[in-house]
Amino acid sequence: MKRRSPEGLKTGCILPLVSRNRILGVLSLGRREQNGFGRADIGFLTQVASQISIAVENASAYSEIAHARAELEKALEEIQRLKDRLQDENLVLREQMIKLSCLRRLWVLLPRCEQCFLAYPR
């Protein structure tokens, strides 16, 4: 019993889309004529399937690269934010070190208080 296609197709050709030993999909074609695909057609369609495989692989690689680039841009933004924060903290620490240095100089100049309960080493 012959199976009929609703579109009236009588001949089909299914070619795998292969790249790097992985099947990416299939190229499926049909014709309404009996024996609609000759050797030349199959050879040509095999080349077309190969080109489609390359295009699919390139599109997939482009998508992966775009995703990786977006992740790297996020990481770079975070690094820049952390760098800015460290620079701010460095300025604060420098100011505190300058103040501490000034206080040490003043400390040396102050006379020792004999009545204080704390001993201040010089």
Q: Pick 112 or 120 by higher pLDDT.
A: 112
- Give me the domain span that covers residue 63: 11-109
Average of per-residue pLDDT values in the chain: 87
The reported pTM is 0.57
Residues 6+ apart with CB under 8 A from 99: none
**Is residue 52 within 8 Å of residue 17, measured between CB atoms?**
yes
Q: Which residues pair with 25 in a beta bridge?
A: 17
Domain presence at residue 37: yes
Do β-strands 22-31 and 11-19 pair in parallel, antiparallel, or remain unpaired? Answer: antiparallel
Q: Is residue 118 part of a domain?
A: no
pLDDT in tens, 55-98: 999 999 999 999 999 999 999 999 999 999 999 999 999 999 99
CB 29, CB 12: distance < 8 Å? yes
Q: Is residue 96 part of a domain?
A: yes
| Total number of domains in the chain | 1
**Does residue 89 fall inside a structural domain?**
yes
